[in-house]
Structure 1
């Protein structure tokens, strides 16, 4: 993919987060037992904030390309995810039996930070190894 199309996975991830956030509390409670069959330790959907925003940050890093291997790209990625998290929490204030929660936003930011830092470290490690193996022609 080239150019702005590289952000398509991030847009799709944002749409998935928006769709999940649009579910009422009753709707979420009705599907929780299905998830608990696969993840018995899951007592609610709070851990999904880490997962969703980890995935969002990975897709944003993909769109960023080389910028994701720089500290400013890493920080920009986290800021974009947290800003989207703020809009998501605001959106939830309009959904029945849902409310904005600052702790959810913290979890969103932690998931995004973990993914952004992981990408930064892996890309730097990959680039370092690649530059050591460069022999020149």
Structure 2
């Protein structure tokens, strides 16, 4: 377990929460770019979590659950809504990065033999 990466993941999650707490369209990323931003932000979260834990499925699952909690949180922010597309972009971004990490990790191990 790498505590530095886990600390960075926690800080990243706090930043996500802060952006999600902004009312209305103050973040102002137009569709379809917002889905790419979601994928990138949650891809980074997945990377930080998998580096911190070394457990790809756990890192992806936690990223997906945090994305879900983020969308639910937005139900309570004026001018924001729960967006299933955003959540799917979160899950996809985290999944792509965690999968790539797993494949590259396996390749590194094979090359070291």
- What TM-score, normalized to structure 2? 0.88
Whether the 8 Å contact between 2:2 and 2:51 is mirrored in structure 1 is: no
Q: Which residue of 1 aligns with 2:109?
A: 127
Q: Are 2:59 and 1:77 equivalent residues in the alignment?
A: yes
User: Secondary structure of 1:97's match?
Assistant: coil
- What TM-score, normalized to structure 1? 0.74
Cα offset, 1:97, TM superposition: 0.8
Structure 1 CA distance for aligned equivalents of residues 32 and 2 of structure 2:
41
**For 1:45, which of 23, 34, 38 is the aligned residue?**
34
Deviations 1:4-54 (A, max 9, x none): 44410111110111111111223123xx5xxx9xxxxx7652321101100
Cα offset, 1:62, TM superposition: 1.3
Q: Are 2:73 and 1:91 equivalent residues in the alignment?
A: yes
Cα offset, 1:3, TM superposition: 5.0
Which one has the largest radius of gyration?
A: 1
Cα offset, 1:80, TM superposition: 0.6
Residues 110 and 130 of structure 1: is their aligned pair in 2 closer, same or farther, counting only changes over 3 Å? same
Structure 2 CA distance for aligned equivalents of residues 128 and 116 of structure 1:
19
- CA RMSD in angstroms, aligned pairs only: 1.9
The one of the two structures with greater contact order (alpha-carbon pairs below 8 A, sep at least 6) is 2
Residues 47 and 6 of structure 1: is their aligned pair in 2 closer, same or farther, counting only changes over 3 Å? closer
Task: Structure 1: give runs of 5+ residues left out of the alignment.
Answer: 37-41, 68-72, 132-137
Q: Which residue of 2 aligns with 1:134?
A: none
Q: Which residue of 2 aligns with 1:16?
A: 15
Structure 2 CA distance for aligned equivalents of residues 26 and 52 of structure 1:
18
